[in-house]
Amino acid sequence: VTEPAFEECRAFFTRASRRLTVLAVARGVAAGLAVGAILLIILLPALPWRDSNALALVTAVIAIAIGATVALVRGASVRVQPARTIERLAPQCRNVLVTAEELMRSSLHPWHSEHATPSMVTSERRSPVAERASAYIEALVLGHAAHLCARLDLGELLPARRTALALGASVMLFAISSSRRTSPSLHVADALALAIPATIARVDDVTATIASPAYAALPTQSLQNPNRIDALQGSRITLRIHSNADSVAIQTLQGTRTLTPSARNEFSVSVPADLDGFVGIQPLATGRSADVRRLIALTVIPDAAPAVRISVPARDVHLKDTHATLTVAVEATDDIALASMTLRYTKVSGSGERFSFADGEVPLVVTRASARTWSARAVWSLEALALAPGDMVVYRAIASDRRPGAAPRESDSFIADIAAPGSEAIAGFSIDPDQERYAVSQQMVVLKTERLIAKRAQMLPDSALLASQELAAEQRKVRAEFVFMMGGEVADAPDPSASMTDLNEEAEAEGEADIAAGRMANQGRIALMKAIRFMSRAATLLTTAELSAALTSEKAAVVQLEQAFSRQRIILRALSEREQLDLARRLSGTLTDAHSERREPTVATESAMILGLRRALADVAAIARSHASPQRASTECTTLAESILRLDPSRRPVQAAAARMSDAAIAFAEEHDLLARAALDRTATMLSSLLRDQLPLSTEGDGAATASRALDAHRLSGAIGDALNRAAPSASSASSASSKPRE
């Protein structure tokens, strides 16, 4: 055997075997990665740890290992005998390479010994080819083989391009499939949904954008598929609905309107947030069935009025002189934002029946801790108001928020008054009790006049006259009270030294024409003026001791006073219809006319809330028990959800119950029976809880005992009580037992 030919052939076969091995491994890796990618596509969505990158790494390692191993095992024979593969790819070699390989193997050349297994070596040793071949032929064959090997190009015979492409494709496929964001499996449904026309009109997504009123300056809020929307009153809610329906019906408490798509599968509607309620979104389609209605509870949060209070001095103050300075602190808060804060006062000056009022404003130093919380302080010198002793200042803080048209809110009013000379009590002395004494009533004047008439026969004329004049004084006093009540329009007497009870009758009489003509058309006022007039006449008559005539005027004054202060003017407005006084019987009638009366018993009626909750709970039970089709059950659930929400749209538990009912409707529509029944259970539990809050708790007897046993127990208890009570008197008289309960 020529050594160069042998070496050339050996080198060629070695290179061929190595290239075959590399290509086989590459193909195995590609196949493994491809299988791994397919497994990931199928299984990845179902795996709980699909988000982990380690899963993809482990899968890749396993796929590469298995693919390479399988390739190596399958290609073992090919690698050991590469000549057969080359002969198949290059037929022009006419089996020279195969013969050369066999001859080389039979010669137990080190090359062969490196690659052949012991069993092969043993079998080849007994090969008849080897036995027959002579050295010449061997040299000839190897020479031809070496010549062929030199001409053959392994790159052409065993191209790597396809294998490299396959490997690259597999790597890319695996990379794509192992990514959770781009995993095709996760988008299969989407792709199908796009490819296959939908048969059910449904609402896929609802985006609610809540734009608060401009004055609130709140950021726009966006909610995705909300069950409930809480919005400030005056907000604008824009719903963007993604649906494959032909049109969408929007249902609110105000009514229903139908939307047409503004773009492909896009609907838009704007809903004002002015009242609590709900928004129902019903997809509509012709020729197709529609999905369940989506229900969104709407809670409108009113803009609360600001709260303002005077924190310092927060009480009425009595000032000794007019030069005092008052420190006032004001605090105000609002749920959105405050707009203004002022301190206003009313100066009240004058006395008797002449008061004057002057309004003004005190400058404040305002500190804005935030838009919602303000505080202010004022050091208020009262000297500028030119107050006189006995005057007073009534002051209050006023705050307003930014809501347009909102009425400002006032704080409690406090008084600062300047003490009048002598009105301040000295320690140890009380204020003149006459100031607290109530005036003698007109009825009392009548009574005293009647008594005086009764006693007149036994009295001396002078005494009767004196008593009558005293009554006249009292009558004027009563009259003065009512004149003051009328605001002092009746002019006082011109003589300033005269008593305040000495009134100018003429000036009053001048105004009588206006009253009688109806120019001061106020029944109460007319009656009161007439009463005053009758009182004046009575006072005049009493002065001259004309008691009978005076009594007539006095009684006429009483009648006018009753008309002025009774009827619908004052008293009856504060009474409900049921408790209305029977005026026909007031201070009238005779005892003999009194009689028994029989009325119809009052029938208690339950509130609409209780009735509605009870009906809803019964409906939930009916749906749970029914064997209706899922679609029908879904429709019933949707209707019921709306009914529940209508009970009280602003109440959170009611909203939650309606939301659960909507969940049941969706679950029924998707034929998830267990989910639907679970949602029904939750709805029923919520409704029952709401109903329980409205109803009294039953405390009826002992539930475990039957009525017969309870009756026996009561009888026994009664008998024991009777027996003990019969024995008790002596014992109880002897001992002062406590009435503390026996535990």
Q: Which residues bind another protein (CB under 8 A)?
A: 594-602, 604-606, 614-615, 617-618, 620-621, 624-625, 674, 677-678, 680-682, 684-685, 688-689, 691-692, 695-701, 703-704, 706-711, 714-715, 717-725, 728-729, 732, 735-742
Least distance (Å) from another protein to the CB of residue 276? Answer: 24
Q: Give the β-pairing of 325-333 and 307-312.
A: antiparallel
Least distance (Å) from another protein to the CB of residue 79? Answer: 58
Nearer to another protein, 159 or 721 (CB): 721
- Residue 558's contacts (CB-CB under 8 Å, 6 or more residues apart) are 442, 443, 446, 531
Least distance (Å) from another protein to the CB of residue 738? Answer: 7
Nearer to another protein, 89 or 678 (CB): 678
The single-letter code of the amino acid at 437 is R
Nearer to another protein, 352 or 721 (CB): 721
Query: Left, alpha or beta for 358 (phi > 0: left; psi -120 to 50: alpha)?
Result: beta
Nearer to another protein, 457 or 704 (CB): 704
Tell me if 633 sits within 8 A of 668, measured CB to CB. yes
Least distance (Å) from another protein to the CB of residue 622? Answer: 9
Least distance (Å) from another protein to the CB of residue 236? Answer: 39
Tell me the angle at which helices 630-647 and 652-669 cross, rounded to the nearest 10 degrees: 170
Nearer to another protein, 188 or 720 (CB): 720
Long-range contacts of 133-140 (CB under 8 A, 24+ apart): 133/103, 133/106, 135/1, 138/1, 138/103, 138/107, 139/1, 139/2, 139/5
679: which 2 tokens? 């949602």
Nearer to another protein, 360 or 701 (CB): 701
Q: Sort 443 into a burial class: Cβ within 10 Å, 0-12 / 13-18 / 19+.
A: middle
Nearer to another protein, 2 or 732 (CB): 732
DSSP 8-state assignment for residue 49: T
Least distance (Å) from another protein to the CB of residue 742? Answer: 7
Least distance (Å) from another protein to the CB of residue 436? Answer: 25
Q: CA 590: distance to chain centroid?
A: 62
586-to-451, 552, 592 alpha-carbon distances in Å: 24, 21, 15
Report the candidate in 424, 556, 531 with the shortest Cα–Cα distance to residue 478.
531
Mind giving me the DSSP string for 531-558?
A: HHHHHHHHHHHHHTT-HHHHHHHHHHHH
Least distance (Å) from another protein to the CB of residue 624? Answer: 4
Least distance (Å) from another protein to the CB of residue 740? Answer: 5
Report the candidate in 253, 362, 346 with the shortest Cα–Cα distance to residue 647.
253
Q: CA 39: distance to chain centroid?
A: 47
Nearer to another protein, 254 or 626 (CB): 626
Q: In what order do the strands lie in the sheet with 235-243?
A: 221-224, 203-211, 235-243, 266-273
Least distance (Å) from another protein to the CB of residue 609? Answer: 13
Nearer to another protein, 359 or 579 (CB): 579
Element spanning 350, H or E: strand 338-351
Report the candidate in 586, 584, 542, 537 with the shortest Cα–Cα distance to residue 557.
537
Least distance (Å) from another protein to the CB of residue 529? Answer: 39
Nearer to another protein, 588 or 736 (CB): 736
Nearer to another protein, 263 or 704 (CB): 704
Least distance (Å) from another protein to the CB of residue 734? Answer: 11
Cβ count near 562 (within 10 Å): 16
Nearer to another protein, 548 or 626 (CB): 626
Least distance (Å) from another protein to the CB of residue 612? Answer: 11
Nearer to another protein, 28 or 612 (CB): 612
Counted residue by residue, the chain has a size of 743
Nearer to another protein, 424 or 693 (CB): 693
Nearer to another protein, 156 or 700 (CB): 700
Nearer to another protein, 54 or 594 (CB): 594
Least distance (Å) from another protein to the CB of residue 21? Answer: 56
Least distance (Å) from another protein to the CB of residue 640? Answer: 13
70-98 residues labelled b (16+ CB within 10 A) or e (exposed): ebeeebeebbbbbbebbbeebeebeebbb
250-to-254, 267, 270, 295, 341 alpha-carbon distances in Å: 10, 11, 10, 10, 43
- Residue 431's contacts (CB-CB under 8 Å, 6 or more residues apart) are 423, 425
314-to-309, 368, 397, 409, 417 alpha-carbon distances in Å: 8, 21, 11, 17, 14
Nearer to another protein, 494 or 729 (CB): 729
Please report, to the nearest 10 degrees, the dihedral formed by the alpha carbons of residues 115, 116, 118, 123 taken in order: -170
In whole angstroms, what is the distance from residue 485 CA to residue 504 CA?
A: 17
- Bridge partners of residue 246, in order along the sequence: none
Least distance (Å) from another protein to the CB of residue 617? Answer: 5
Tell me if 423 sits within 8 A of 454, measured CB to CB. no
Sole residue written with tokens 């990845």: 44
Long-range contacts of 612-618 (CB under 8 A, 24+ apart): 612/643, 612/644, 612/646, 612/647, 613/647, 613/687, 613/690, 613/691, 613/694, 614/691, 615/643, 616/640, 616/643, 616/644, 616/647, 616/657, 616/687, 617/684, 617/687, 617/688, 617/691
Least distance (Å) from another protein to the CB of residue 228? Answer: 23
Q: Is 285 strand, coil or helix?
A: coil
